[in-house]
Amino acid sequence: MAIRLDASSPDFERAFETLLTGKRESSVDVNDAVAKIIADVRARGDAALIELTNKFDRLSLTPETLRIPDAELDAAVAACDAKTLDALKMAKARIEAYHARQKPSDGRFTDAQGVELGHRWTAVGAVGLYVPGGTANYPSSVLMNAVPAKVAGVERVVMVVPMPDGKVNPLVLAAARLAGVDEVYRVGGAQAVAALAYGTATIKPVDKIVGPGNAFVAAAKRQVFGIVGIDMIAGPSEILVVADGQNDPDWIAADLLSQAEHDESSQSILVTDDAAFASRVEEAVAAQLKLLPRETTATKSWADFGAVIVVKSLVDSVPLVDRLAPEHLEIAVDDPEPLAARIRNAGAIFLGRYTPEAVGDYVAGSNHVLPTARSARFSSGLNVLDFMKRTSIVRCDADSLGRIGPAAVALATAEGLDAHGRSVSIRLNK
Amino acid sequence: MAIRLDASSPDFERAFETLLTGKRESSVDVNDAVAKIIADVRARGDAALIELTNKFDRLSLTPETLRIPDAELDAAVAACDAKTLDALKMAKARIEAYHARQKPSDGRFTDAQGVELGHRWTAVGAVGLYVPGGTANYPSSVLMNAVPAKVAGVERVVMVVPMPDGKVNPLVLAAARLAGVDEVYRVGGAQAVAALAYGTATIKPVDKIVGPGNAFVAAAKRQVFGIVGIDMIAGPSEILVVADGQNDPDWIAADLLSQAEHDESSQSILVTDDAAFASRVEEAVAAQLKLLPRETTATKSWADFGAVIVVKSLVDSVPLVDRLAPEHLEIAVDDPEPLAARIRNAGAIFLGRYTPEAVGDYVAGSNHVLPTARSARFSSGLNVLDFMKRTSIVRCDADSLGRIGPAAVALATAEGLDAHGRSVSIRLNK
């Protein structure tokens, strides 16, 4: 059973602060083991990658079988049942359409001093996409990572996916094919991250690595950061539902459980202005939990990290939401826009009574890779700009350098950087 | 003396690869010491911060004197000599104008299925700006970090700057005042980063920390990442000049030295299609080195990491530039645009013979915080988006959920996430 907080209670601030700062993830220190794996792959390339895959995934490979041939990806598409394949295609098309609008424009202008200024966006050259094996092996995540990269114009998208005992979810391979992934390798863990970062004879190195993974993968991404770019380190999922008493408690309970089922460390929070409604939702959660195949996970998540907060008015939810900075925020009221407009920190906002967060996980078109653990205070969900970079452009001629150059010389002198000043002054009065 | 490489030589690729992968920075492991400092500030707040400042900076403070009063900042502005103050004001105005154009737009649209989609950008609530003490204590860096934050709409910009033995560069304080920094504290090191991340009684916590610093500051930023956002970890400066034989060798030599003077680990590279010109630049560098107050630093940087690469045609520089991905790229030819258009990886490009990189350090308006160590392959210079974050927005009604919802249910089922599917299906056919 989730905790219940009453915002009008004198000890609310203390209880809310506990909710806010509670640690949901226990971090395992695997840094030394990961450093050894990376050094090994860096030194011995394919040979190390193959040995480690044999050891950890019980899969015997050769340099020739590291890569999954395109024919095998095509076969995975062909083996999909029609309904799932159609759903994957719809999701891919909608993600593509949404992200295509994120493509940034280049710009140039000449200012009053005659200096030409601008910027240009270019795609990252090659991106590695990590796809976990086991239970978190989601075709939707392949689409959410690979499609924005392709929309950005990344020429080479390389996927790695472990195949423990030779097994892989064929839907993941089908999603890779649909998303236009260029190369797929059957390796995982820190060894796959090392291969992507440093390259081997078979796997050419990439410039950036994205995608979720276990503690080994996360540690490996942190360790190769700098050599390559990485995306955020994703934490357990979160949903915060702001709902008035006019909702169907079963609907809201279903939404809370949609995140609780992900992981025992997931967090589902309801904020409502109706204490009686809150109780009905709690009852509905209890009833629905029993119907879930993932009952154990969802029950533990709801009991350990779930919360129901009763506020006097829904407007009072705004500062609470901003402090929690949830990954997913639902605003289930008739007129959600005024409340939404006041919220500053949320990864994604789902408006109204007919927008369960799960549509955003699959087919809304927006990205489901979103900031967790309060990082929506300072970061954004995955988007096309994550696969591009911006180059500044400056051009002076003798006249415009004559206008702004003397100030540069003055500042260089004030900072004691004479060579800086000299590179400007040597061009003045010519 | 910098090394000379000839692109037509049979061992060029090996020599270039050595240049590319050479490590310029020796990293000191200060992680344990930094972890202790952070834990101490987290546990004891102001008291720890004051003790550590006394120990490291030999400066005795109280909670009341941690903050530099606005009057002291005003006095620093008043004490500036007129020429420097004018230059700072010009720089501030130009940085502001350039960055104002980076402000992103929000967007909403309703697609063919009737789903309303969009995104909204909001400013990060509070940003901490680290300014180093000692030799790298640059007023221009204060402007380059604080102005974009203010343009983004950050409400609270907090600066920390160590004052060893009570001393601080008054120009840094003046720049803070001009840039509109809201609070300035006289603390530095890992203890200042910890105070910004976790807060103390006197310093309220921030959401993101930016700005350069020594090994302790860099390690502290890495350790608090997640609690707050951080910017990139900056490495030593780099300049790559692509120049034909029609340039004045003295000008190009001055440009190469403008980065070499920063740090012994800085790197300056010339790529030219004229071997005789290359020799004239080498001679000019040798002559100008003797004139520099920072001769020792620049000489060591040029000798250890400088390079002159002779190519057959300047077009051949394009793949070399993309592999080096320099922080600063000058293209000193009459018609630089065609070459620039082919370059993918560079932090900033300076076009033509009259655009020394140093104008970009001070007054061009573009940002001088740029990706180093080949990270321009996957990252961008500091810009307004670094101080904002993007929230996705999704809104369905019963009809549009009816159109896209079944595909979400199909995918949730395929992924074994029944509660996800249920949160959608419970709303269908109502």
Write the pLDDT tens digit of every residue in A279-305: 999 999 999 999 999 999 999 999 999
CB atoms A117 and B366 under 8 Å: yes
Per the annotation, does B368 bind a ligand?
no
Query: Looking at residue B29, what is its pLDDT?
Result: 82
pLDDT mean across residues, chain A = 96
Partners of B271 in the β-ladder: B242, B309
Query: Looking at residue A430, what is its pLDDT?
Result: 65
Model confidence pLDDT, tens digit, residues A195-253: 999 999 999 999 999 999 999 999 999 899 989 999 987 889 999 999 999 999 999 99
Alpha-carbon distance values, B159 to A415, B60, B142, B204 (Å): 19, 19, 9, 12
CB atoms A260 and B378 under 8 Å: no
Per the annotation, does B191 bind a ligand?
yes
CB-nearest to B422 from A102, A254, A407 is A254
B328 tagged catalytic: yes
- pLDDT band at A136, cuts 50/70/90? low
CB atoms B354 and A257 under 8 Å: no
Taking the C-alpha atoms of residue B77 and residue B173, their distance in angstroms, rounded to an integer, is 8
Q: Which two tokens stand for residue A3?
A: 């905790």
Mean pLDDT of B138-162: 97
Mean pLDDT of A172-181: 97
Closest CA to B209 of B140, B144, B145: B145
Query: Looking at residue B325, what is its pLDDT?
Result: 97
Reported ipTM: the value is 0.96
Beta-carbon contacts of A36 under 8 Å, excluding residues fewer than 6 positions away, are none
How far is the alpha carbon of B328 from chain A, nearest alpha carbon, in Å? 10
Beta-carbon contacts of B214 under 8 Å, excluding residues fewer than 6 positions away, are B132
How far is the alpha carbon of B77 from chain A, nearest alpha carbon, in Å? 14
Query: Looking at residue A135, what is its pLDDT?
Result: 64
CB-nearest to A140 from B250, B391, B415 is B415
Taking the C-alpha atoms of residue B202 and residue A248, their distance in angstroms, rounded to an integer, is 46
CB atoms A251 and B427 under 8 Å: yes
How far is the alpha carbon of A79 from chain B, nearest alpha carbon, in Å? 13
A–B CB contacts, 8 A cutoff, strictly below? 370
pLDDT at B136 over 70: no
Residues of A in contact with B86 (CB under 8 A): 407, 410
How far is the alpha carbon of B327 from chain A, nearest alpha carbon, in Å? 10
Residues of A in contact with B373 (CB under 8 A): 226
CB atoms B407 and A91 under 8 Å: yes
Active-site residue among B328, B330, B357, B368? B328
B31-106+125-230 architecture in CATH?
3-Layer(aba) Sandwich (3.40)
Helix (H/G/I), strand (E/B), else coil: A7: coil
User: Residue A358's closest chain B neighbor by CA?
Assistant: B420
pLDDT at A169 over 80: yes
Q: Which two tokens stand for residue A397?
A: 């001629």
Range name among A163-167, A311-315, A359-363, B383-387 with the lowest pLDDT average: A163-167
CB-nearest to B420 from A94, A122, A258 is A258
Model confidence pLDDT, tens digit, residues A390-412: 999 999 999 999 999 999 999 99
Model confidence pLDDT, tens digit, residues B111-128: 999 999 999 999 999 999
User: Residue B336's closest chain A neighbor by CA?
Assistant: A395
Amino acid (1-letter code) at residue A285: V
- pLDDT band at A133, cuts 50/70/90? confident
Closest CA to A270 of A262, A280, A261, A62: A280
B22-28's contacts with Cβ under 8 Å and 24+ in sequence apart are B22/B305, B24/B235, B24/B236, B24/B265, B24/B267, B24/B305, B24/B373, B25/B235, B25/B236, B25/B265, B25/B373, B27/B215, B28/B215
Q: Which two tokens stand for residue B13?
A: 């690729």
pLDDT at A27 over 80: no
CB atoms A115 and B258 under 8 Å: no
User: Residue B125's closest chain A neighbor by CA?
Assistant: A377
Alpha-carbon distance values, B275 to A29, B250, B299, B318 (Å): 53, 16, 22, 18
Residues of A in contact with B356 (CB under 8 A): 401, 423-424, 427
Closest CA to B228 of B129, B122, B368: B129
For chain B, the structural domain boundaries read 31-106+125-230, 235-377, 396-425
CB atoms B376 and A391 under 8 Å: yes
- pLDDT band at B232, cuts 50/70/90? confident
Residues of B in contact with A404 (CB under 8 A): 90, 94, 359, 363-364
CA angle B69, B72, B74 (to 5 degrees): 110
Residues of A in contact with B393 (CB under 8 A): 340, 348-349, 351, 366
Instruction: Report whether A117 contacts A356 (CB < 8 A).
Output: no
> Which residue in the block uniquely carries the two structure tokens 């900072």?
A415
Query: Looking at residue A22, what is its pLDDT?
Result: 84
Could you tell me whether strands B267-272 and B238-243 are parallel, antiparallel, or unpaired per DSSP bridges?
parallel
Per the annotation, does B98 bind a ligand?
no
How far is the alpha carbon of A115 from chain B, nearest alpha carbon, in Å? 8
B31-38's contacts with Cβ under 8 Å and 24+ in sequence apart are B31/B219, B31/B223, B33/B190, B33/B216, B34/B190, B34/B216, B34/B219, B34/B220, B34/B223, B35/B223, B37/B189, B37/B190, B37/B191, B37/B194, B37/B216, B37/B220, B38/B190, B38/B193, B38/B194, B38/B197, B38/B198, B38/B220, B38/B223, B38/B224
pLDDT mean across residues, chain B = 96
User: Residue B414's closest chain A neighbor by CA?
Assistant: A84
Q: Of all helices (H) and strands (E), which one includes residue B14?
A: helix B12-21
Q: Which two tokens stand for residue B228?
A: 């707050």
Residues of A in contact with B349 (CB under 8 A): 391-394
CB atoms A254 and B365 under 8 Å: no
Helix (H/G/I), strand (E/B), else coil: A116: strand
Active-site residue among A99, A282, A328, A330? A328
CA angle A131, A133, A137 (to 5 degrees): 65
CATH superfamily of A31-107+124-230: Nitrogenase molybdenum iron protein domain (3.40.50.1980)
Task: Please count the CA atoms within 13 angstroms of the CA of A34 that sit on its side-chain side.
Answer: 21
Tally Cβ neighbours within 10 Å of residue B312.
10
From the annotation, which residues of A make up the binding site? 130, 191, 214, 237, 259, 262, 328, 361, 415, 420
From the annotation, which residues of A make up the binding site for Zn(2+)? 259, 262, 361, 420
Taking the C-alpha atoms of residue B107 and residue A374, their distance in angstroms, rounded to an integer, is 24
User: Residue B355's closest chain A neighbor by CA?
Assistant: A396
Chain Cα centroid distance, residue A234: 6
Query: Looking at residue B24, what is its pLDDT?
Result: 81
Tally Cβ neighbours within 10 Å of residue B293.
12
CA angle B85, B91, B96 (to 5 degrees): 130
pLDDT at A360 over 90: yes
Q: Do the domains spanning B31-106+125-230 and B235-377 agree at the CATH topology level?
A: yes
CATH topology assigned to domain B235-377: Rossmann fold (3.40.50)
Helices within B30-132 (DSSP H only)? 31-44, 46-57, 70-79, 82-100
Model confidence pLDDT, tens digit, residues A266-283: 999 999 999 999 999 999
Active-site residue among B183, B327, B330, B357? B327
Mean pLDDT of A162-182: 95
Instruction: Report whether A389 contacts A228 (CB < 8 A).
Output: no
Active-site residue among A261, A282, A327, A330? A327
Residues of A in contact with B351 (CB under 8 A): 116, 393-395
Model confidence pLDDT, tens digit, residues B363-388: 999 999 999 999 999 999 999 999 99
How far is the alpha carbon of B8 from chain A, nearest alpha carbon, in Å? 25
Mean pLDDT of B207-227: 93
Model confidence pLDDT, tens digit, residues B101-113: 999 999 999 999 9
For A3-25+235-364, CATH number? 3.40.50.1980
User: Residue A430's closest chain B neighbor by CA?
Assistant: B354
How far is the alpha carbon of A43 from chain B, nearest alpha carbon, in Å? 15
Question: pLDDT above 70 covers what percent of chain A?
Answer: 99
Taking the C-alpha atoms of residue B419 and residue B430, their distance in angstroms, rounded to an integer, is 18
DSSP summary character for residue A387:
G
CB atoms B229 and A379 under 8 Å: yes
DSSP summary character for residue A201:
S
- pLDDT band at A33, cuts 50/70/90? very high
Secondary structure of A297-351 in HEC code, one letter for each residue? HHHHHHHHHCEEEECCCHHHHHHHHHHHCCCEEEEECCCCHHHHHHCCCCCEEEE
Q: Which two tokens stand for residue A333?
A: 């009221």
Taking the C-alpha atoms of residue A80 and residue A67, their distance in angstroms, rounded to an integer, is 21
CB-nearest to B394 from A102, A348, A379 is A348
Buried b (16+ CB within 10 A) or exposed e, A331-351: bbbeebeebbeebbbbbbbbb
Mean pLDDT of A146-172: 96
Query: Looking at residue B134, what is its pLDDT?
Result: 73
User: Residue B379's closest chain A neighbor by CA?
Assistant: A389
Model confidence pLDDT, tens digit, residues B256-280: 999 999 999 999 999 999 999 999 9
A328 tagged catalytic: yes
